[in-house]
Structure 1
Amino acid sequence: MNEIIRKKLIEIEEKFQVKVLYAVESGSRAWGFPSKDSDYDIRFIYIHQPEWYLSIDPQGIGTKRDVIEVPINDLLDISGWEITKALQLFRKSNPPLLEWLRSDIIYFQSYSFIDKLRSLESEVFYPNASLYHYLNMAKNNYREYLQGSEVKIKKYFYVLRPVLACKWIEEYKNVPPIDFHELLKNMIPEGKLKNEVEHLLKRKIIGDELDIEPRINVINDFLESEMIRLEEYIKTLTVEIDDPTKKLDDLFRYTLKEVWG
């Protein structure tokens, strides 16, 4: 599959006249709980030739789109962000982008861009942005999927993962790992709750994820109490960071020269 993905990335480079800088897995495979029929969620960052940037119309407007999206099929979901879009989102401490940087499944990486970007992570990480992102994700998914008397197994993980990510940020004050197993290991102590989650995780991986069953009260109670507590915690958090724009501008210009000469 890696070769198929790399071939798709080469096709994208040729079709759009860009260079792919970084491509990773971002979905359940990167999170550590794929099922036997999980698709591949590939996300990438790319850069255009200098002439594309030297025009009177800014990127992201009109025909100068700042995303590339490949038609989704049953197996592959591929989309990418143009480098300046990625850097603007990095400046805002965008959680999905920070997750890309932590993915253990890297399909392609070239030039020095990603290593330099990672070196700036501690300067841009804004915990409030990530906490709001993950908490809103957890609340929305809980409200939509887990309030009935019966639920689908897989939906628990779409609430558990963001709640545990919030707890990680609260505890360690840095970007949470993308891997669910690491979050589970560090954020839930040994006991009944952890046993239930681990059992659920095993069932999801072997393919029981679409089963509809009675809700698991110990997990629901944990999620409800944590979401209430985290909402109050966020209100008390005040963090200021220096504006990283100049460093990100420099990184963009350096990468443009490194890639295209």
Structure 2
Amino acid sequence: MFGEGRIVKIINPLSGKTPTYVKNSAHFVSLVQAMRPSPNMQMVSFDVVSLFTNVPTTEALSIVRTRLESDDTLPERTTIPTDDIMELLTFCVTTTAFQLGDDYYQQTEGMAMGSPLSPVIANIYMEHFEELALQTAPLKPSLWLRYVVLWDHREDITPFLDHLNSLRPSIQFTMETEVDNKLPFLDVQVEKSEEAFRTSVYRKPTATDRYLNFKSHHPDTVKKGRECDSRPVDQP
């Protein structure tokens, strides 16, 4: 059976090739520490409201197709034609149904919560969105790393937020600015001084230091971490 996991393996390499890409916290730290603050520089973070369920489905699928058609490495991952890949992908993301009580509903827009395809497609879409946003912005940030911004202008950053929110009706951002020269991102606390950006581990105020007991009745895949399926993508 050709499941969603196989499609994920095919399209996942299409992302992560833009200057705004952040692989993990260590990658983020290395990029930030390479920057040097300026007197007017402000640290800001953005967040998309309910990203998965607000990704424009038709546009996202079109972007995936374009990237598949221009990917020279695709034959190394699969022999399936692009048209067939897109037919499978379209079927997976447009046939999501769920039940509430006695009523059945069909999701008509956005990516389904819980699907392994959703984070991959959302990531590909947001890379496209970021390129569009930065190309059309009247004032551009010194650094944009999804979604941390270094704003090095005397002008207020609010018009830039308005610009982001004007590009697609369903993609809306919220904004958080630095406090006392500090800004959290993921599990990293970034602190700005006159000479450099310093980083440390960030812990949310709600952190309880509690871990899942391995003897609990949770599935082993949850306690061990889900193992990757190493079979070729064209095999059942």
Class of the TM-score when normalised by the shorter of the 2 chains: under 0.3
Provide TM-score, normalisation by structure 2. Answer: 0.21
Q: Which has the higher contact order (CA 8 A, sep 6+)?
A: 2
Provide TM-score, normalisation by structure 1. Answer: 0.20
